[in-house]
Amino acid sequence: MGFTRRSGGNSEGAVTDQGEEGESDEEIAFMRRIQREVLRFCIDLLNYPLQDNEYKSVIISGLAVLGICDDDRWLNAEDYTSKYSAVAKLAQMMVVYKGYEQRQEEIKRKTEANERQGNGLTAEQIGEAARSYFHHIRRLTFQFITMAYDGRDPTPMQWIYKA
């Protein structure tokens, strides 16, 4: 999801914010597209409406499998809660990153429109005109991280909160 590390001192095989040393711009762009699609897929899994059968959800079914011990018994509740917590934390991090990406995409669209139309707006003015990170993250959070309301079908995250 765009996270990289930096090599300490040794430039051979170094990883920077731009990607691994020696990677072409095409390779970096390709990997970013893959990362965006993986993030979109994960968000779609988290946003899957449960309707009548929650076990059609990959996340709920996966959590059920994680609840089985090697000796064919179920994990104790206190041992299983950390698995729910990990899924919830990962979902929250993905929401923040998706909100970040959405704002950056909005700024890019506004910048391109500004150039096409010759409005002469500065980058700062375009950034101010774009919706905030808070707006994007709040919308995604209400969409599937918080409990369902207004007659919407629950999502896997809401099922986890109730379990």
DSSP bridge partners of 20: 15
The 10s digit of each residue's pLDDT in 86-115 is 998 999 999 999 999 999 999 999 999 999
**pLDDT value, residue 148:** 66
Q: Is residue 110 part of a domain?
A: yes
Q: Which residue has the higher pLDDT, 14 or 91?
A: 91
**pLDDT value, residue 10:** 45
Residue type, 143: Q
The 10s digit of each residue's pLDDT in 20-70 is 667 888 999 999 999 999 999 999 998 888 878 887 889 999 988 988 988
Tokens, residue 74 = 């179920």
Let me know whether 39 and 88 are in one domain: no
Let me know whether 37 and 90 are in one domain: no
Let me know whether 148 and 103 are in one domain: yes
Let me know whether 150 and 95 are in one domain: yes
Q: Is residue 153 part of a domain?
A: yes
The 10s digit of each residue's pLDDT in 64-82 is 898 898 888 998 888 888 8
Q: Which residue has the higher pLDDT, 53 or 7?
A: 53
9 has a pLDDT exceeding 50: no
6 has a pLDDT exceeding 90: no
Measured distance CA(161)–CA(145) in Å, rounded = 9
5 has a pLDDT exceeding 80: no
Domain count, the chain: 2
Q: Is residue 130 part of a domain?
A: yes
Q: Is residue 62 part of a domain?
A: no
Let me know whether 39 and 90 are in one domain: no
**pLDDT value, residue 136:** 95
Cα–chain center distance at 67: 24
Q: What percent of the chain has pLDDT over 90?
A: 44
Measured distance CA(31)–CA(40) in Å, rounded = 14
**pLDDT value, residue 16:** 52
User: Domain range spanning residue 138?
Assistant: 82-162
**pLDDT value, residue 154:** 80
Tokens, residue 55 = 């076990």
